[in-house]
A and B are shown apart, each in its own frame.
Chain A
């Protein structure tokens, strides 16, 4: 069945450093979504990518969808303490179901 892997599992950065998490699917995706979950909270939808090679930006966050639509990345420029949390990708292969990656837990050291 479809699998979605994320790396790294954990990342500790100094405040102001950049951060990137990568998402890889075993199958070609129709689209991919990204979520953020703060410690003790619930996942919150950030963005959806649909087109091959698509790049979207939200302030300091840059999201990319691979040309083959099997991978994606989230890059945060100049991290802040408010960026702390776990970032999940979720891939859809054209069904009702999104398969979530295992997540990358980001810790920002002030």
Chain B
């Protein structure tokens, strides 16, 4: 969907390095989410935001932090990447908390 973009699309990084993934939306939606997708686990919520500078933890938040300084941008940071954080990361947006999500195309992250 053109209204939400993730960058980078692919990244390979070394264990112990910091990594930041970016989610950018042009829909002016209030809610933004970061999920990770792993085989056998489906989609698991890492962090979410319900407004600028308003964020909260999801199911699997350990090792991750987020920031949202503008409505359109939601950043996910891995402070010190580990091999267990190798995954596909999806950003999602929604207008209201009960609405269906629009997902970005994902970022495939490999930690070696």
A33 and B40 CA atoms in complex are apart in Å by: 20
B42 with A48: CB separation less than 8 A: no
Q: How far is the CA of A77 from the CA of B35 in the complex (A)?
A: 31
Interface residues of B (CB under 8 A from A): 31, 35, 40-45, 48, 50, 56, 58-59, 90, 92, 97-106
| Chain B residues, Cβ within 8 Å of A100 | 35, 42-45
Additional pairs, 13, CB under 8 Å, beyond known A42-B104, A102-B40: A1-B59, A35-B101, A42-B105, A47-B100, A48-B99, A48-B100, A96-B48, A96-B56, A97-B59, A98-B101, A100-B45, A101-B42, A102-B42
Contacting residue for B45 out of A44, A48, A99, A102, CB 8 A: A99
Q: Which residues of B sit under 8 angstroms from A47, Cβ to Cβ?
A: 100
- Contact yes or no, A31 B98, CB < 8 A: yes
Chain B residue nearest to A43 in the complex (CB): B103
Please tell me if the beta carbons of B101 and A92 are within 8 angstroms of each other in the complex. no
Which residue in chain A gives the minimum CB-CB distance to B104?
Answer: A42
Which A residues are CB-close (under 8 A) to B48?
96-97
Contact status A88-B42, CB under 8 Å: yes
